[in-house]
Chains A and B, each alone.
Chain A
């Protein structure tokens, strides 16, 4: 209800400046401003993603007017267009839903004060050492008036937020361990206690940022130019080469990719399609016994633990973000090594549609609706294509991916034959999924490239969206179930 006059010219200038920067970066123009003594920051990465050639990403918004308009809206709302949005631009329908939800979670009316929301985002992202998200939200946190002292570490934050640390830890790595006692501990802590509505808000934020960290690593999102690690003041060229040329993504690497794909992995897609067809047809022929079905689930679950997330490969540079959470050693791997068993969670007994939604919507109105739309959107998103093939029904593949992720979290669907997963998801793909979902910080470019080589980048981004949302739903289900148990 405030009257204000928006400074039109300013905004225009600003937007111009941004595009200007892109241009410089794209063509690596050398501006002779050194003489004036002005230090011009230059992007370190090339384009929004380390894995996907910049050209391809920027191409989308030029072609698709819908994406274009979503980008404009996002820019108008936030004053920036982050790399995550740019990459998600491959799937404008989803992006719209995603941005709306995120905007509502961070900016609109809700139980938590603004700086708390960003701080919780930082906590969640830090759990996965996702420096990209941490930096982004450190800026936002300070902008909405957060106390810079909190950024020194969780111990400087209010008691109330510190208590959230435990929940953050469990949710991120072993959500099945969450019990109603944890919830009770948060809700009944005298003066530092959380209200139910606040807790729901916090839980949604935590799960949102855990899974967004998965996406960030999974797509190799590069730091924003204005953030730490996103720019350099060094001159753009090293000897004769432009930075672009030696960086991944553009130029030769591109051609190389195509060549490699065509030669080595010829027919990968066809094999997959053939399998899907077979599964579709001979479904009723071999009626597996109930025991067999149960075993299949258990096998898949156990196996998912054993999929080794290769650690020796290059990982994201260690940044000083561990201070935002306690107990940095606590991770998914701990438990899989010890060979602990994940208890089975029956999806039919506590589902998002029937139970989770109602709880969220009751305590944090409208968010339930938005999440519901987002889950629906991502689960049903399809273009009926696979690589170069058109008119393919991919629902089976999408369901396999979704259920595989839930399987890793111990969530079992009675009406799903987990044998299908083995047929449809090959090992390198499973490794990728496992890494992204459980320890995203270990994702490497090689992993990204080694699965589904013939598929397009947009399809790989699609997979990442599935991973992200399936993970978010799984975490949410555990958290909400604990809250429900506490309430009854």
Chain B
């Protein structure tokens, strides 16, 4: 509302007002232009050439310039411009190469004034000199720019762009003699109107055509260019070499660019293809549009600010045959919808967090984390400018490092390297992997491997005693630097629900363990056997209550600490270790959980496979004559559990080792998810060999074909070590077949 008041101040007495409105045209528009006093707009296209008056509530058609029984191609306009000095004077560029001027003061119906047919190809752009009444400039597909004196029948000078098509020409607002031209090959040239023989300056602005350029209305050195490469660039032309000072990346090729009046850093753009919106950018904030107008249903072809000194009205014409007046106050502001926070995990468990300054102002008072404060806060501030209505955002970026020992992903790397996935009998693989897990102090994983061996091996081998399970209290995870955000509080409920389901799936593991208790007698199993008699549901519930209770408590805790990590980033239960009421096998899980903290990717995508039916069958589990297939549902559940916990490594490794024994139990999509997550993780750790092995051993077709794409061989000459990219198998230098022995670098 404050801006409305400023409209009037900017324009003095004859203030313009209006609202967002539109009218239907008969045909698609190619270009629009307004007259100097902002009361009328001309719309030109292949089949339309009309003048509309801009009234308070609506557009009113004033004049149809397309007269004659069978309008000629001279009416097929690629561009139109209304003279900013002489209000009766218009110029159009025709697709057949004609440049036409129109005099609205003519008494006859046909207002055509002059016709220049000097260009051989389509004229893309016409431009009047801002202060000189009779000077008109045109740029054409044939590679020439011509300057016309409207008092003469022919052009006064011709500028050659060396047979490169000219897409836009613009007189400088401030320098009387200078104009800029943009070309299809990506170049921009600066010319002195007095010197047709040679351009003053040339530079490459874009890759591919430069569709448009616009001089800054106030700042004489600034030129904005827009290209097919989807970029808008702002060039400082005051220096010796044109310097790119701002660059905005849009999502589609840029067809038009227009500086916003009275706003030094704003410009409006529209696109030539695919994207129908008009964007207003603050060039200092190139990643998100400042404002968006989304009314058009086909590409916008012409945009123009209604008045030279009024930033609140934008007119636009479109291929959808409509003409719009956009009020700035009605624009959508993508900034408002943008999420001001960002959170990302590093590979080794580091955490980066960026948020609005205001949200973490109290940060400075936070006590340093006892394990060594490793935050590197960085602050970006922008000077607030009171004249702008831009919601200025300054963000703070904090980086949190994990402390050195407990959360490293070393275990992951080691496990990946040491696990054996193929090449030996099943039982040996399991034993080997169990040992690896054991050495890395991951007893639950170790036990799982052992149990797998027992479950799926021949009965003859069952006698082999499994390795001992030492339930060491592993490095408990100290509460890491963390922060809490108010919004995230609401997410907590969901999180604890998730925990619940995890708790339930754990119950099945409980069944599993008693299942082989008669073989490996360790105290853990005795304990679980003890719990046998109780109804499982009770047991589970009690446990879950604990869990919930705990997380609630944790919740409060974090709210008191004003700067703590959101809990879902880590496993909630890492401190339960000391909770005496938790059964011991639960601790196994916990011992495992800290490791998971680094794998941020895979926790999300997996759908748990619900199968609680097992809970009801309890007795048959103890029969020693079970076929291996009997365990499949359990194993499947277990794999899902691991994957859900974030340990896809385990899931995939087991999947590979068990091979056909389990494969059919798990649907392909899930398998593919697991494989993809694991391979992705391996590649992040640059474990190329392991990842390749996994790819090779996988049975999903989608995975195995990974190996067949994007493979590039680089070959170097064995004599001179130079790459032989150029000449097949022959080295440039030696002119011989330099292939005594080829070496390959990948």
A-B contact pairs, 16 of them (CB 8 A): A3-B746, A6-B742, A8-B729, A8-B741, A12-B729, A72-B728, A109-B710, A284-B117, A290-B74, A290-B96, A293-B73, A348-B122, A353-B209, A358-B253, A362-B252, A415-B119
Question: Distance (Å) between the CB of A2 and the closest chain B CB?
Answer: 5
With a cutoff of 8 Å between Cβ atoms, the chain B residues found around residue A358 in the complex are 228, 252-253, 272-274
Apart from A76-B728, A108-B710, A357-B208, list 18 A-B contacts with CB within 8 A. A5-B744, A6-B715, A8-B742, A11-B739, A72-B728, A73-B726, A294-B73, A348-B46, A348-B122, A354-B211, A354-B272, A357-B228, A414-B73, A414-B76, A415-B96, A415-B119, A415-B141, A487-B274
Query: Is B297 an interface residue, CB under 8 A from the partner?
Result: yes
With a cutoff of 8 Å between Cβ atoms, the chain A residues found around residue B329 in the complex are none
With a cutoff of 8 Å between Cβ atoms, the chain B residues found around residue A80 in the complex are none
Question: Distance (Å) between the CB of A419 and the closest chain B CB?
Answer: 14
Question: Distance (Å) between the CB of A400 and the closest chain B CB?
Answer: 14
Asked whether, in the complex, the Cβ of A2 is within 8 Å of the Cβ of B746, the reply is yes
With a cutoff of 8 Å between Cβ atoms, the chain A residues found around residue B688 in the complex are 1
Question: Distance (Å) between the CB of A362 and the closest chain B CB?
Answer: 6
Asked whether, in the complex, the Cβ of B73 is within 8 Å of the Cβ of A488, the reply is no
Q: Mark A186-221, 1 if CB is under 8 A from B, else 0.
A: 000000000000000000000000000000000000
Asked whether, in the complex, the Cβ of B729 is within 8 Å of the Cβ of A76, the reply is yes
Asked whether, in the complex, the Cβ of A8 is within 8 Å of the Cβ of B740, the reply is yes
Asked whether, in the complex, the Cβ of B273 is within 8 Å of the Cβ of A484, the reply is yes
Asked whether, in the complex, the Cβ of A348 is within 8 Å of the Cβ of B95, the reply is yes
Query: Is A340 an interface residue, CB under 8 A from the partner?
Result: no
Query: Is A372 an interface residue, CB under 8 A from the partner?
Result: yes
Q: Mark A339-366, 1 if CB is under 8 A from B, else 0.
A: 0000000101100011101110010000
Alpha-carbon gap, A353 to B121, bound state (A) = 15
Question: Considering the complex, which residues of chain B in the window 99-142 have a beta carbon less than 8 Å from any beta carbon of chain A?
Answer: 117, 119-122, 141
Question: Considering the complex, which residues of chain A in the window 1-34 have a beta carbon less than 8 Å from any beta carbon of chain B?
Answer: 1-6, 8, 11-12, 15
Question: Distance (Å) between the CB of A488 and the closest chain B CB?
Answer: 5
With a cutoff of 8 Å between Cβ atoms, the chain B residues found around residue A354 in the complex are 209, 211, 228, 253, 272-273
Question: Distance (Å) between the CB of A373 and the closest chain B CB?
Answer: 10
Alpha-carbon gap, A6 to B713, bound state (A) = 9
Alpha-carbon gap, A1 to B298, bound state (A) = 44
Alpha-carbon gap, A284 to B120, bound state (A) = 10
Q: Mark B432-459, 1 if CB is under 8 A from A, else 0.
A: 0000000000000000000000000000
With a cutoff of 8 Å between Cβ atoms, the chain A residues found around residue B713 in the complex are 4, 6
Query: Is A35 an interface residue, CB under 8 A from the partner?
Result: no
Q: Mark B703-746, 1 if CB is under 8 A from A, else 0.
A: 00101111101010000000000111110000001011111101
* B70 touches which of A3, A114, A291 (Cβ 8 Å): A291
Q: Mark B45-83, 1 if CB is under 8 A from A, else 0.
A: 010000000000000000000000010111010100000
Asked whether, in the complex, the Cβ of A372 is within 8 Å of the Cβ of B274, the reply is no
Give the nearest-CB partner of A372 in chain B.
B208
Query: Is A239 an interface residue, CB under 8 A from the partner?
Result: no
Query: Is B692 an interface residue, CB under 8 A from the partner?
Result: yes
Asked whether, in the complex, the Cβ of B726 is within 8 Å of the Cβ of A415, the reply is no
Asked whether, in the complex, the Cβ of B96 is within 8 Å of the Cβ of A293, the reply is yes
Asked whether, in the complex, the Cβ of A5 is within 8 Å of the Cβ of B742, the reply is yes
Question: Distance (Å) between the CB of B273 and the closest chain A CB?
Answer: 4
Asked whether, in the complex, the Cβ of B728 is within 8 Å of the Cβ of A73, the reply is yes
Alpha-carbon gap, A12 to B737, bound state (A) = 9
Q: Mark A42-71, 1 if CB is under 8 A from B, else 0.
A: 000000000000000000000000000100
Question: Distance (Å) between the CB of A406 and the closest chain B CB?
Answer: 15
Asked whether, in the complex, the Cβ of A348 is within 8 Å of the Cβ of B78, the reply is yes
Alpha-carbon gap, A349 to B77, bound state (A) = 11
Alpha-carbon gap, A342 to B117, bound state (A) = 29
Asked whether, in the complex, the Cβ of B727 is within 8 Å of the Cβ of A488, the reply is no
Question: Distance (Å) between the CB of B230 and the closest chain A CB?
Answer: 8
Query: Is B276 an interface residue, CB under 8 A from the partner?
Result: yes
With a cutoff of 8 Å between Cβ atoms, the chain A residues found around residue B692 in the complex are 1-2
Question: Considering the complex, which residues of chain B in the window 395-441 have a beta carbon less than 8 Å from any beta carbon of chain A?
Answer: none
Alpha-carbon gap, A108 to B711, bound state (A) = 9
Query: Is A289 an interface residue, CB under 8 A from the partner?
Result: yes
Alpha-carbon gap, A3 to B715, bound state (A) = 11
Question: Distance (Å) between the CB of B698 and the closest chain A CB?
Answer: 16
**With contacts A293-B73, A362-B252 known, is A353 near B184, CB below 8 A?**
yes
Question: Distance (Å) between the CB of B523 and the closest chain A CB?
Answer: 48
**With contacts A415-B96, A415-B97 known, is A488 near B46, CB below 8 A?**
no
Alpha-carbon gap, A75 to B728, bound state (A) = 8
* B117 touches which of A5, A287, A346 (Cβ 8 Å): A287
Question: Considering the complex, which residues of chain A in the window 310-363 have a beta carbon less than 8 Å from any beta carbon of chain B?
Answer: 346, 348-349, 353-355, 357-359, 362
Question: Distance (Å) between the CB of A159 and the closest chain B CB?
Answer: 19
Q: Mark B263-277, 1 if CB is under 8 A from A, else 0.
A: 000000000111010
**With contacts A290-B74, A415-B120, A415-B141 known, is A488 near B729, CB below 8 A?**
no
Question: Distance (Å) between the CB of A461 and the closest chain B CB?
Answer: 24
List the 6 shortest-distance A-B pairs measured between CB atoms, nearest first: A290-B72, A72-B728, A414-B95, A76-B728, A8-B739, A358-B273
With a cutoff of 8 Å between Cβ atoms, the chain B residues found around residue A76 in the complex are 728-729
Asked whether, in the complex, the Cβ of B728 is within 8 Å of the Cβ of A488, the reply is no
Asked whether, in the complex, the Cβ of B730 is within 8 Å of the Cβ of A72, the reply is yes
Asked whether, in the complex, the Cβ of A6 is within 8 Å of the Cβ of B73, the reply is no
Asked whether, in the complex, the Cβ of B711 is within 8 Å of the Cβ of A2, the reply is yes
Question: Distance (Å) between the CB of B686 and the closest chain A CB?
Answer: 11
Q: Mark A109-133, 1 if CB is under 8 A from B, else 0.
A: 1000110000000000000000000
Alpha-carbon gap, A414 to B98, bound state (A) = 10
Asked whether, in the complex, the Cβ of B120 is within 8 Å of the Cβ of A362, the reply is no
Asked whether, in the complex, the Cβ of A3 is within 8 Å of the Cβ of B744, the reply is yes
Asked whether, in the complex, the Cβ of B711 is within 8 Å of the Cβ of A362, the reply is no
With a cutoff of 8 Å between Cβ atoms, the chain B residues found around residue A109 in the complex are 709-710
Asked whether, in the complex, the Cβ of A346 is within 8 Å of the Cβ of B96, the reply is no
Give the nearest-CB partner of B209 in chain A.
A353
With a cutoff of 8 Å between Cβ atoms, the chain B residues found around residue A284 in the complex are 117
Asked whether, in the complex, the Cβ of A359 is within 8 Å of the Cβ of B273, the reply is yes
Alpha-carbon gap, A13 to B657, bound state (A) = 42
**With contacts A69-B726, A415-B96 known, is A488 near B228, CB below 8 A?**
no
With a cutoff of 8 Å between Cβ atoms, the chain A residues found around residue B120 in the complex are 283, 415
Alpha-carbon gap, A69 to B298, bound state (A) = 47
With a cutoff of 8 Å between Cβ atoms, the chain B residues found around residue A372 in the complex are 208
Alpha-carbon gap, A372 to B228, bound state (A) = 12
Alpha-carbon gap, A284 to B746, bound state (A) = 62
Asked whether, in the complex, the Cβ of B727 is within 8 Å of the Cβ of A69, the reply is yes
Question: Distance (Å) between the CB of A289 and the closest chain B CB?
Answer: 7
With a cutoff of 8 Å between Cβ atoms, the chain B residues found around residue A75 in the complex are 728
* B273 touches which of A4, A5, A355, A415 (Cβ 8 Å): A355
Asked whether, in the complex, the Cβ of B122 is within 8 Å of the Cβ of A414, the reply is yes
With a cutoff of 8 Å between Cβ atoms, the chain A residues found around residue B74 in the complex are 290
Most buried by B among A5, A8, A72, A358: A358
